[in-house]
Amino acid sequence: MHRRIVAVMGAMFIALMAIVALAAPASAEGQALGGRLENRVEGVKTPVPGVEITVVGSGFEETVTSDEDGVWRVELPALGNYDVSINVDTLPEGVGLTEEDKVTLEQVAVQPPLFGGLKTVIFPLGQSVTIQSSIWEQTAQLTISGIQFGLLIALGALGLSIIYGTTGLVNFAHGEIITFGALATWTLNAGFGLPFILAAIGGLLLSAAFGWLNNAALWRPLRRRGTGLIAMMIVSIGLALFLRNFYQFFVGAEKKSYADYAGLAGIRIGPISVTPTDIAIIIIAIVALAITVLVLSKTRLGKATRAVSDNPSLAAGAGINVERVITFVWVIGAALAGLGGTLLGFTQQVSFQMGFQILLLVFAAVTLGGLGTISGAIFGSLVVGLFIQLTTLIIPTELKNVGALLVLIVILLVRPYGLLGRRERVG
């Protein structure tokens, strides 16, 4: 068994190094600074064309103008540090910097990255203070944003919930599985030039395979050794730290964007404005959640999963292959998390710690809805998503996650088993 595990891990490592070798640039040529200017108002992003960007450094200076998609790019003569400035006088009416000190980004370091030669620079643009929308319009817009964010949390929360319900493991590395899905999709899309739809399908399959590898190489051997759940939880924390730093080492710390479907213009529907990408994200998330619920509730394998969750020993005595069911759960849970990461990459861009940044919200959603319950994970995620967005009407945006966690504490003081959970001792 140990030789098989080592062989599997070795094969995965060799495959990863091969991908790195194929995707990494052969030299420092082709390095560039660039980005996409987006006006972000209440969760809706629209491109900002016709804005001048100036790059200065090491005797080099060039000014470019963002195109109709808000995209700009400056080819660089050499690696090094550059100052990047935005000409605020060329911004369209009603659009301004949300952080006034970001007019010039000083000493932006350009080093040879792993994938491609573009260093992304982000200028925070948003609604000008001179333009105000009514409370009704803000509430409607934030409700849509909250539903979208809640559905993305639900994809991660459902995967975490079914893994916990079947194995009892509180997996703190689940956020890194979310990140893996986004990075895999971005690599296939921006690194290898695949169309986004094919890249997303590839990212989904790779995430499922990553979940299988997690279980086969780590958690199954620990279960067979009789390792306690507390020890396994600590192992998951160590795994999360390792994967997060592994991601950062190979892809860098800067945020990245997909090559397709970013910066689309918003569509006005009554008091709200949404982009085609936002609509697609909501539809894909709902379909994925619905299919998962149907599989877990209607199929024979889903019934076996619920049997293992209720009583593994009794399920094994009834002829159910418990290990096969757990493998299935890991594959499905990781695929859902990876899909959530891929879709989250549209709203927050792709970074090495994006899964870690929403992990507490995923835990909050699972706990709020009820540990180990399918409907509870989805319901809790929607509650968290809506609360986070709607509370920005009365509290600073920087504190929106804190408010959601405070509500979690209050609710659990009243219902420690969650809103839809069963009254039983956990642990």
Segment 397-406, tens digit of pLDDT: 767 777 777 8
Q: What is the pLDDT of residues 292-317, one digit of tens each?
A: 999 988 888 888 888 888 788 888 88
What confidence score (pLDDT) does residue 402 get? 79
CA distance 401 to 397: 8
417 and 426 in contact (C-beta within 8 Å)?
Answer: yes
CB atoms within 10 A of CB 3: 7
Q: What is the pLDDT of residues 134-148, one digit of tens each?
A: 778 788 888 998 999
- Indicate the SS3 state at residue 355: helix
Lowest mean pLDDT among 86-95, 178-187, 333-342: 86-95
pLDDT band at 111 (very low <50, low <70, confident <90, very high): low
What's the mean pLDDT when you consider all of the chain?
81
CB atoms within 10 A of CB 69: 16
What confidence score (pLDDT) does residue 89 get? 85
- Quote the pTM value: 0.74
pLDDT above 80: residue 267: no
203 and 188 in contact (C-beta within 8 Å)?
Answer: yes
Q: Output 334 or 400, whichever has higher pLDDT.
A: 334
Range 193-205 burial, b when 16+ CB lie within 10 A, else e: ebebeebbebbbe
DSSP 256: B
What confidence score (pLDDT) does residue 26 get? 38
pLDDT above 50: residue 225: yes
**How would you classify the pairing of strands 52-57 and 80-86?**
antiparallel
Spatial CB neighbours of 398, under 8 Å, sequence gap ≥ 6: none
Long-range contacts of 67-70 (CB under 8 A, 24+ apart): 69/36, 69/262, 69/263, 70/36, 70/37, 70/38, 70/263
Q: What is the pLDDT of residues 6-46, one digit of tens each?
A: 455 555 545 544 444 444 443 345 578 888 888 876 556 77
Identify residue 302 by its one-letter amino acid code.
G
Q: What average pLDDT does this structure show over 106-123?
A: 64
pLDDT above 80: residue 176: yes
CA distance 116 to 166: 41
**How would you classify the pairing of strands 118-120 and 32-36?**
parallel
What confidence score (pLDDT) does residue 215 get? 94
Q: Output 232 or 47, whichever has higher pLDDT.
A: 232
What are the tokens at 25? 């640039």
Lowest mean pLDDT among 153-162, 266-275, 314-323, 328-337: 266-275
Q: What is the pLDDT of residues 357-399, one digit of tens each?
A: 999 899 988 888 877 678 888 998 998 999 888 888 887 776 7
Lowest mean pLDDT among 272-276, 344-348, 368-372, 380-384: 368-372
Identify residue 112 by its one-letter amino acid code.
P
CA distance 406 to 402: 6
Q: What is the pLDDT of residues 237-250, one digit of tens each?
A: 999 999 999 999 88
CB atoms within 10 A of CB 307: 17
What are the tokens at 129? 């203070």
Domains of the chain: 32-127 (2.60.40.1120), 135-414 (1.10.3470)
Q: What average pLDDT does this structure show over 176-185?
A: 95
